[in-house]
Every structure is written in structure tokens, then in C-alpha cells.
Amino acid sequence: GECSAFKERFLECLRASGFESGACRQRAMAYLECRMERQLMANEPLEKLGFKDLIDEKSEAKPEKL
């Protein structure tokens, strides 16, 4: 149950979007990150799991440090 809050948010999103998984990719990624951080699944690069575009968006949104 360590990542159950992430799982519930993902499932809520799926229900709200009519089970359109593309609308819930951010929450899916957060759930998988939680599972990997707690060693509940094998650690895989998120790019390899199909989240490269979301990672690129995250890095573009961060202000650059000087």
C-alpha cells in the first residue's frame, strides 16, 4: 500500500476521463516512479516506459539555474 495514493489518483483520472489512458499519463508516471523508488518494481528509465515526452516537458518547465 505504499503507493496506493498514487494508484487511486490514477484510477480516479481514468474514471473521470472515460478510461482514456492518454489523459492520465502524468499520474501513471507518478505511480510508476513511486513503485520504482520503493523498489516495488524493477528500476527502468521512464523514457523506456513511454514517458519521454512528459520528461521533456518537465525539464522545459524548470527555470534554469545560473
Task: Say what the pLDDT of residue 37 is.
Answer: 97
Residues whose CB is less than 8 angstroms from the CB of residue 9 and which lie 6 or more positions away in sequence, other chains included: 27, 30, 31
63: number of Cβ within 10 Å: 5
- The DSSP call for residue 44 is -
Q: Where are the domains of the chain?
A: 3-60
Cβ pair 14, 36 in contact under 8 A: no
Q: How many CB atoms within 10 Å of residue 49? A: 13
10-residue mean pLDDT profile of the chain (66 residues): values are 96 97 95 96 94 79 57
